[in-house]
Structure 1
Amino acid sequence: MAQGAGRYHIAFAIPACAMSRVVNIAAYKFVTLDALPALREHLLTRAEALSLKGTILLAPEGINVFLAGEAEAVDAMLAEMSALPAIGPLEVKYSDSASVPFGRLRVRIKREIIRMDHPAIRPGKGRAPSVDSQTLARWLAQGADDEGRPLALLDTRNDFEVDAGTFDGAIDWRLQRFTQFPAAFDAHRAELEGKTVVSFCTGGIRCEKAALYMQDAGLQHTYQLEGGILKYFEETGGVGYTGGCFVFDARETLDAALAPRPLGAQAA
């Protein structure tokens, strides 16, 4: 069913399929953070001690996490972050790989965890409505939402990510960076009127801001895909999606089973 504001799922149990290999996690949360230098040092020290690699981004608007390592180490890091009152529980997307797909560990402080250059868009103050994977799969099969309204899937990722794979029939504005989304929406808004619009991205972070922007602009029936493409793959097997999902690590793309997929295989 469509989800309202404030929903986060605590997920620490690592799937059995990942236990014998390197565990990769992707997670984010829009939450007001301060004392960022001290938080950075704390998370960096802990992640180094656990021999994890990847990237943690911190900003006043929240945290964005991409880490990989042994299952026990990943589990410990998630427990560490969830125990911090400033962060709390995270919704986590899991995948596995034969080796660690990151070359090093970085914990960085940024102005935004995903840059949009619209300070008025504050997901931490309240989320846009979301739709879960099973509901979207049903809408795709129906060709409309549950009220019979036409469906528009809006890909909020960069053009090269879309080229690796996307939902069949999705709208692609050929974005080169996410800061171009507001202007692209303003130019194409009329095409979305009267439809149920579901914005989507890799893990949920960009489509969450995109949905809020469209909602603030007064577009009705606007949703974000809860958990993004990765959660959709995990929960539906990727029905209605062609190609792979680009990820920003050495694996390059993942297939609907969340296994590495060579970029050359995207058209299969």
Structure 2
Amino acid sequence: MENKTMKDYYVLLYYCFTPIENAAVFREEHHRLCLSLNLRGRIIIAEEGLNGTVSGLKADCEKYMEIVKADPRFDALEFKIEEHEGHAFQKLNVRYKPEIVHAGLPEVKPYEKTGKHLEPDEFRKLKDSDDVVILDVRSNYEHKMGKFKNAVTLDIDNFREFPDKIKDLEQYKGKKVLTYCTGGIKCEKASAYLLENGFEDVYQLHGGIIKYGIEAEGEDFEGKCYVFDNRVTVDVNKVNPSVVSECYVCGTKSDHMVNCANSVCNRHAPICESCMVEMEGTCSHECKESPDKRPYNMEGYYAKEQNGYNPYRGLKRKEELAKAQQNAE
């Protein structure tokens, strides 16, 4: 049974661009490893590397990190570690995909060439220089919840739209371009793509906003950081915090991020607590009257239906896995 008062769990955020041969076989092995350690979360595996965010008891996470780091392919991998009172995910998904971050740029290989990594304190000292532009490479719903002071944001709904914005960024070619994202992975491809398109002085915040919050106390990060787990958003700034997001219903300042109680809508947006009460957890009068409206939940977060979730579904039998490994060799 999960302890809801003590922070006995970790949430791990990590990625590593590195060649993985027989990635489909590795996916199978990694899935089994996570099951053996009772981890939950989302992991993507591709020929270009590994990308994940998982939660589990501290001891289980420590063992997982030890095993992953023992693999020489992941020697450069760095875990961002945050304490939590329980699992941040409801289930485990380990998937094989063409890219570990969907950019539509499988030919871009950050382990061959990418922007210069800046540690959080280096980023903090450099970000306000006159010859610098800070570039947020995240999507609209992320940077509307929080962003660095004076950052340039992009009007994109998905990271795969980033290549289409290169022309809009041409004006910054003569400056130092400091890219940032949640955990660092999007910047690996974004900064590499900028370099390929004639930008010469390109940097990236190593470890992203999450590491910046841990090591540099989040100074000058305005608002909250959107995360892809049950926490929805996390506080970053311990120095000069502020609220930048606005209530979807009334427009007042609010960082109370929720799901619309109408299951058909399920809009993810900031809604202030007074509007939550008035609208019964929905984002509009239409949603409030919907027959698909879920019972009002003050938390404003509605977990997805499990629909018969089975963590072992999709795994091959050990005999099949051994045969696949033999064929791969």
Q: Which TM bucket (shorter chain)?
A: 0.7 to 0.9
Q: CA separation of 1:138/1:52 partners in 2, compared to 1, >3 Å: closer, same or farther?
A: same
Residues 1:264 and 2:256 aligned together: yes
Query: Equivalent of 1:218, from 194, 198, 204?
Result: 198
1:74 corresponds to: 61
Residues 1:230 and 2:230 aligned together: no
- Matched position secondary structure for 1:172: coil
Give the letter aligned to residue 137 of structure 1.
Answer: R
2:18 corresponds to: 31
Query: Equivalent of 1:98, from 85, 94, 116?
Result: 85
Residues 1:46 and 2:33 aligned together: yes
Q: CA deviation at 1:20?
A: 4.2
Q: CA separation of 1:223/1:267 partners in 2, compared to 1, >3 Å: closer, same or farther?
A: farther
> Which deviations, in whole Å up to 9, do the C-alpha atoms of 1:137-180 show, x marking residues without a partner?
1124xx31xxxx52211000010000110001111112111111
Paired with 1:45 and 1:252, the residues of 2 have a C-alpha distance of 27
Residues 1:166 and 2:147 aligned together: yes
Paired with 1:198 and 1:267, the residues of 2 have a C-alpha distance of 31
Unaligned runs of 5+ in 2: 1-5, 244-253, 258-269, 273-329
Q: CA deviation at 1:39?
A: 1.0
Q: 5 Å matches for 1:242-253?
A: 242-253=222-233
2:44 corresponds to: 57
Paired with 2:83 and 2:138, the residues of 1 have a C-alpha distance of 23
Q: CA deviation at 1:65?
A: 1.4
Paired with 1:30 and 1:179, the residues of 2 have a C-alpha distance of 18
Paired with 1:139 and 1:109, the residues of 2 have a C-alpha distance of 37
Q: CA deviation at 1:53?
A: 0.5
Name the % identity.
Answer: 29
Number of equivalences:
241
Unaligned runs of 5+ in 1: 1-18
Give the letter aligned to residue 264 of structure 1.
Answer: H
Q: TM-score, normalised by structure 2?
A: 0.69
Give the letter aligned to residue 52 of structure 1.
Answer: L
Q: 5 Å matches for 1:147-226?
A: 149-190=130-171, 192-226=172-206
Paired with 2:25 and 2:189, the residues of 1 have a C-alpha distance of 27
Paired with 2:52 and 2:184, the residues of 1 have a C-alpha distance of 12
> Which deviations, in whole Å up to 9, do the C-alpha atoms of 1:195-223 show, x marking residues without a partner?
11101000000011111111111112111
Q: Contact conserved, 1:243 with 1:267, CA < 8 A, in 2?
A: no
1:136 corresponds to: 123
1:6 corresponds to: none
Q: CA separation of 1:87/1:138 partners in 2, compared to 1, >3 Å: closer, same or farther?
A: closer
Instruction: Give me the CA root mean square deviation.
Output: 2.2
> Which deviations, in whole Å up to 9, do the C-alpha atoms of 1:227-250 show, x marking residues without a partner?
110011111111111111100011
Paired with 1:113 and 1:131, the residues of 2 have a C-alpha distance of 22
Q: Contact conserved, 1:21 with 1:98, CA < 8 A, in 2?
A: yes
Q: Contact conserved, 1:252 with 1:263, CA < 8 A, in 2?
A: no
Q: CA deviation at 1:84?
A: 2.5
Q: TM-score, normalised by structure 1?
A: 0.84
Q: Contact conserved, 2:9 with 2:84, CA < 8 A, in 1?
A: yes
The structure whose Rg is larger is 2
2:283 corresponds to: none
